[in-house]
Amino acid sequence: MVEDQGAAQQQELPVRPQGHEQPQEYRADAVELEYRPTVADLVSALKARRGVSKAARRQYWALGCLALVAAVQGERAMTGQEVSLYVVIWLVVFVPVVLLSPWLLARQFHRLAVRQGTFRVTVTDAGVTVTTDNSTTALNWVAQPRYRETKDVFLMISPDKNAVGFTMLPKRAARTPEDIDRLRAILDRNLTRV
């Protein structure tokens, strides 16, 4: 699916074979990260993703409507009128699910990510290469043309309305604080900040 998006615009990304040094000019323009994903990284990424996902915004609208109905039901209860039990059930179930969903999803993603081992990410003006103990993936900027920055991560996001595809770049994985600034500069040059 990613291959179909902008295949004509895709640039060839250099892949570094293990044990081979890269030329100095390539290394100067690259930011390298190495990390093992944590649940906290994933929670931060999923919360950032929630801000650009239409599905998440619909959940918040539903919460707002439910709160409004609950307020009406509360007012009815205070005046001695009959109260719908369905609203109470929805509040008890729906609110915790929506509020805890980033943490619950992060735990599931973490179980999958742990199996991949150490993540080694190289970010250049040509795109992003993610190498794990089991796989290598190269992404051009068309595949994930937006990004969001949080206190803990940079999150590259797919162009679809629900932000289904994303790549997490934890700041803690940077070797130096300057690498975080260089990474931000590369992302700003090539992606749209949302």
DSSP, residue by residue, 57-79: HHHHHHHHHHHHHHHHHHHHHHT
pLDDT tens-place values along the chain, 194 residues long: 344 444 434 444 444 444 444 443 444 589 999 999 999 999 999 999 987 877 777 877 877 887 788 888 888 888 888 887 777 787 788 788 878 888 888 999 999 999 999 999 999 999 999 999 999 999 999 999 999 999 999 999 999 988 889 999 999 999 999 999 999 999 999 999 99
- Residue 56 Cα distances to 7, 68, 155, angstroms: 29, 19, 16
- pTM for this entry: 0.71
DSSP state of 121: E
Portions of the chain given CATH number 2.30.29.30: 27-37+116-193
CB 180 within 8 A of CB 174: yes
- Residue 18 Cα distances to 113, 132, 133, 136, 158, angstroms: 21, 11, 11, 12, 29
**Among candidate residues 181, 164, 142, 113, the one with its CA nearest the CA of residue 7:** 142
Q: Using CB atoms within 10 Å of the CB of residue 79, give its burial: 0 to 12 exposed, 13 to 18 middle, 19+ buried.
A: exposed
Beta bridge partners of 34: 120
* 27-37+116-193 is classed CATH 2.30.29.30: yes
